[in-house]
Structure 1
Amino acid sequence: MVKNFLKGLAFGAVTGAAAGLLFAPRSGNETREKLIEELDEATELTNELNNSLNHFKQALSETKRTAETVIPTFQESIEKDIENFKFQAEPRVMQIQEQAEKLSSHFPESLTDVQ
């Protein structure tokens, strides 16, 4: 889709330049020289655009390959960290729950004492 757009853009630029030159109030030789210059510039612009697009495609492919190698390693590391955190946190959570139960068992007694 982008390729078709770029082709259309280049074609439109060349056609517009050619039409402008053909209807310009210049002599035939001047018009032909100007047309040749414009076509050369349009060709150069198209080539630069194609080169940029190819570089972008290569960079995108390289980024994809890098992501395919880095993401699984990163994901494994995160999963290990989560397991380690769970292993360390579970005893602490149990201690907190035990303390909360002790406090709640003493709490109703303190309410009756206040009333």
Structure 2
Amino acid sequence: MANKKLSAAKLLKGILFGSVVGGTTALLLAPRSGKETQAKIEKEVKDNIKLVTDVKDGAEEVQLHAANVQYLSETLLPEFIDETKKSVEKFKFKSKYRIKDIEEQIDKINTELENLANDLEEKDI
């Protein structure tokens, strides 16, 4: 199947064509009187016009929302990414010194534990 995009114009043309074919078929095969058939056709035409209008309005609304999403993604996402990067860098900067302090404290604790272990061994001898 060929890659074809379904545009609003093509959709409306298809709905209109289907309505005409359906209406004509109904007219030719209708077992009603002329006035009944005319009233039915009038109702079908009004219903189809409403359907086409609803589809057109829906397509326009979807297009509007898509444009809003695109605008928001183009304006908000770069700012969000930039702010997130800044926050990460700020955290790295702050945590860098804290990690260094923690490592020094761990070294001191290990040294004290080794000294304590040595003292205990000497007392047992």
**Structure 1 residue 106, shift from structure 2 partner:** 3.5
Contact 2:30 2:37 in 1 (8 A): yes
Gaps of 5+ in 1: none
Larger radius of gyration: 2
Q: Considering only aligned residues, what root-mean-square deviation do their CA atoms show, in Å?
A: 2.9
Q: Which amino acid aligns with 2:59?
A: L
Q: 1:54 aligns with which of 45, 49, 60?
A: 60
Structure number with higher relative contact order (C-alpha < 8 Å, ≥ 6 residues apart): 2
Q: Show structure 1 runs of 4+ deviating over 6 A.
A: none
How does the TM-score come out when normalised to structure 2? 0.70
Pair 1:94-2:97 in alignment: no
Cα distance between partner residues in 2 of 1:9 and 1:74: 43
Cα distance between partner residues in 2 of 1:111 and 1:5: 84
Pair 1:82-2:114 in alignment: no
Contact 2:15 2:52 in 1 (8 A): no
Q: Which residue of 2 aligns with 1:38?
A: 44
Cα distance between partner residues in 2 of 1:52 and 1:22: 33
How does the TM-score come out when normalised to structure 1? 0.74
Gaps of 5+ in 2: none
Contact 2:27 2:41 in 1 (8 A): yes
When residues 40 and 85 of structure 1 are mapped into structure 2, their CA distance, relative to the original with a 3 A threshold, is same
Percentage of pairs with the same residue? 29
